[in-house]
Amino acid sequence: MRAAVVHGPGDLRIDELPDPQPGEDEVLIAVEWGGICGSDTSYYRHGVSGTAQLRHPLVLGHEIAGRLVELGTRVTGLEVGQPVTVHPATLVGDGVMPERLAGRTNLYTPSRYFGSAAFDPHTDGGFSGFRTARADQVRVLPDGVSTQHGALAEPLGVAFHAVGRPGKLHGKTVLVNGAGPIGSLVVAAAKFCGADTVIASDVSDRALEIARRMGADETVNVASGGTLPPDAEIVFEASGSPRALGPVLRATARGGTLVQVGNLPGSEIQTVLGDLVTREITWIGSYRFVDEITDAVEALGDGLDVSPLITHTFELEQAAEAMHAALDPDSGSSKVMLHIG
């Protein structure tokens, strides 16, 4: 099979690898689509993603969907030919968590993730002709949901986890700062979950247009003189920019909640945080998801439309070009997709 394999910074190759064989509790998926994530571009550009250092060649990709082509001998409840996406996490060890974290498996360590160099040996991803997965990782796509859209269930699951962190959004005004792929998916998830008004802010008109098409009621370009609305009861910070933190805290209502979705740097930063105290803001993090990928799949089946997010598509052989499009701020890209099979 062919696979998009990163060998080092700037070194992405289409390699020929052996076809995998499913174990007795696994399935074999013929992968059709993959979405490029920031971790994929980070491995390609730097050879690292967060604290994960590339030590060996790695098949990229954790946002994937395709069709079942083979079932392990002990797999039940699934059928060959079904369109599926995959929950890409695997807990390592006994899976036991402290009582205070019961059920929050996204916080369990250690955990393997498709397309990650966090472990040695690395965990290959799904930008390949075939990928095995445990049967319990599989989520069958509803009728009418394409595998292209199904590949976005994973980042949509991240968005659904984020909008669930502050509690019910029904009838509330919400601000989403940062209208990249995750921010725009947060916009869509917030509207789907009943938010009355969703305001999206960014420094790019192109990104804001996508956010509007994903459901934003209002948009603000802060680079063109726009100002964040005051007193938003619930705010999602999806840019990951330290420079945004001061203005975003100021936009959060007194006693309001700020959900940090965008990854912040792991090094020292300089920013203005005084409003966190004087406005008694609750500032909480949001990391990956537990099982909200299931909610995402159901939402796709109920009509949540992710098509405005998809700006570029490439064939697997063009994976390096796809990475450049995802990294180039002048490309106008939001979600870049690979057509794999």
What is the per-residue pLDDT across 271-315, written as a single tens digit (0 to 9) for each? 999 999 999 999 999 999 999 999 999 999 999 999 999 999 999
- Give me the number of domains the chain comprises: 2
Identify the pLDDT of residue 255: 97
Q: Would residue 209 count as lying in a domain?
A: yes
Q: How confident is the model at residue 129 (pLDDT cuts 50, 70, 90)?
A: very high
Tell me what pLDDT residue 44 has: 98
pLDDT class of 266 with cuts at 50, 70, 90: confident
Same domain membership, residue 281 and residue 297 = no
Query: In the predicted model, what is the mean pLDDT of residues 8-23?
Result: 98
- DSSP structure class, residue 126: S
85 part of a folded domain: yes
Average pLDDT of the segment spanning 116-125: 97
Q: What is the DSSP letter of 24?
A: T
123: burial class by Cβ within 10 Å (0-12, 13-18, 19+)?
A: buried
Q: Are strands 197-202 and 218-221 parallel, antiparallel or unpaired?
A: parallel
The per-residue pLDDT for 27 is 98
User: 252, 269, 285 — which closes off a domain?
Assistant: 285
- Supply the CATH number for residue 213's domain: 3.40.50.720
Question: Residue 271 burial by CB count (10 A; 0-12/13-18/19+): exposed, middle or buried?
Answer: middle
- Kindly state whether residue 142 falls inside one of the protein's structural domains: yes
Q: What is the dihedral of CA 215, 220, 224, 229, to 10 degrees?
A: -170
Q: What is the domain range of residue 115?
A: 2-156+289-339
Same domain, 212 and 97: no
- The pLDDT, as a whole number, for residue 121 is 96
Q: Coil, strand or helix: which one is 177?
A: strand
pLDDT for the residue numbered 236: 98
pLDDT, greater one: 165 or 270: 165
Number of helices (H), then strands (E), belonging to the chain: the values are 9, 20
Per residue in 211-224, pLDDT (tens digit) is 999 999 999 999 99
**Mean of the per-residue pLDDT values of the chain:** 97
CATH number of residue 147's parent domain:
3.90.180.10
Question: Pick from 187, 70, 142, 126: which is nearest to 300 by CA?
Answer: 142
DSSP string for 206-249: HHHHHHHHTT-SEEEEGGGT--PPS-EEEEEE-S--HHHHHHHH
One domain for residues 150 and 299? yes
Last-in-domain residue among 240, 257, 285? 285
pLDDT, one tens digit per residue, over 137-194 is: 999 999 999 999 999 999 999 999 999 999 999 999 999 999 999 999 999 999 999 9
pLDDT of residue 267: 83
Same domain for 266 and 231: yes
pLDDT band at 36 (very low <50, low <70, confident <90, very high): very high
Q: Are 9 and 120 found together in one domain?
A: yes
Quick check: is 161 in a domain? no
Please, where are the H alpha helices in the chain? Answer: 38-46, 147-150, 153-164, 181-192, 205-213, 242-251, 274-278, 292-301, 319-327
Q: Are residues 108 and 11 in the same domain?
A: yes
Same domain, 45 and 132: yes
Choosing from 246, 268, 285, the residue where a domain stops is 285
